[in-house]
Amino acid sequence: MPDQRLLSLATGTLPEFSPAEVTRACAEAGWPACGIWYDPETWTDATTADVAKAFSETGIIPLDIEVVWIQPDGPDPNHQRLIEAGGEIGARNVLIVSSDPDRAETKRRFAEICGWAADAGMNACLEFLPITEIKTLADALDVLNDVDHPNAKLLIDPTHLARSGGHPDLLKDVSPDLLSYAQFCDGVAALPDDDIQTILNEAVDGRLMPGEGALPIAALLKILPDDLPLAVELRSKALRDAHPDPVARARAVLDATTGYLES
């Protein structure tokens, strides 16, 4: 694998398909790992069994499960259910974001989630993005430093880093011990405005293949540890329209990513 990195296809690249279908499509396309989306409305014990079977039969790695979304309306029992399911399928990481404006409460609940994740054998990875209350790298580091849990990790996405006013140079002082994996994709140099809806539209529909855009992803790769796994997050309406078949879509993203890394 280029740069000796584990490459994983983030689950949002194949949003129309079930977790087991995503796993098998990624395996058929040649990915060594993939991520899983947990929908509390549809996930059952049978889903856990089906997904675990898909990973066992294909031999690929469940890199992460998402998303634990901390909200200001109090604890959500589905968060613990998600983490328990992640542990049962063997996921290495759980993705966490927070929309609670009370930073102290976010820290308290993140610490609790870190404990659950540790019991399930996973890292608890806090992602910052402008549409949440943990908007910037500095916000995320504030939470991580105060919680100071051994499996509390920082999750970096190049689009969110750019749209929050950040640059890869800001990561030079971040300890590699805080990193478990990173997301990866490309995007336009700048959005037409900084409206939340514009940022959200890019995040879910407008990402670009590595090398197709103008984000400083080469600089990001130089700063990240050489062996840090990458979850390629290619949420893109154009990609979905061009490749309705999940295997073809997964293969197109893998070809573009490996081609970029090899170049």
Please enumerate in sequence order all residues whose Cβ is within 8 A of that of 159, keeping only pairs 6 or more positions apart, or say none.
185, 187, 202, 203, 207, 215
Do 135 and 128 touch, CB atoms closer than 8 A?
yes
User: What domains lie within the chain, and their CATH numbers?
Assistant: 2-262 (3.20.20.150)
- The length of the chain is 263
Q: 3-state DSSP call for residue 224?
A: coil
d(CA 103, CA 118): 22
Q: Give the pLDDT score at 193.
A: 94
Q: Alpha helix locations (H) across 91-225?
A: 103-120, 137-147, 158-163, 196-205, 217-223
Q: Are strands 61-70 and 33-37 parallel, antiparallel or unpaired?
A: parallel
Do 69 and 40 touch, CB atoms closer than 8 A?
no
d(CA 162, CA 150): 27
* Chunked mean pLDDT (size 10), the chain, 263 residues: 79 98 98 98 98 98 98 92 98 98 97 98 98 98 97 98 96 96 97 94 97 98 97 98 98 98 94
> At CA 157, angle to CA 63 and CA 202, rounded to 5?
115
Residue type, 88: E
Q: Give the pLDDT score at 4.
A: 74
Count of CB atoms within 10 A of residue 146's CB?
16
